[in-house]
Amino acid sequence: MLATGAHRSAASFELALAPVILALLGLWIDRTLGTVPLFVVLLAVLGVAGAAVKVVYQYRHQMAAHDRSGPWVPGAAGDRVAVADTNDRSRAA
């Protein structure tokens, strides 16, 4: 249970830390090159976009796996039990 909660909260850390780390890298590049805060802004935006895209793709992958293993999938264990119950009722009538 704790591992599941920690796994789910990882997305919040990714969304928060990716832009900060990349912005710090951009700050170092800007100070080294003597430029305006171009790289700070550019890398921070890149960090936000990259983290958001990763979270979206990870969510889609998890939902697809959930859909493939659900009881509504033909041939799933729950489906076979429902078919067996239906057949037993029709024989009894």
pTM of the predicted structure, to 2 decimals: 0.64
Residue spans per domain, the chain:
2-92
Look at residue 73 in the predicted model and tell me its pLDDT: 75
Q: What is the pLDDT of residues 39-48, one digit of tens each?
A: 999 999 999 9
Distance CA 36, CA 78 (A): 62
Q: What is the 3-state secondary structure (H, E, C) of the chain?
A: CHHHHHHHHHHHHHHHHHHHHHHHHHHHHHHHHCCCCHHHHHHHHHHHHHHHHHHHHHHHHHHHHHHHCCCCCCCCHHHHHHHHHHHHHHHHC
Look at residue 79 in the predicted model and tell me its pLDDT: 47
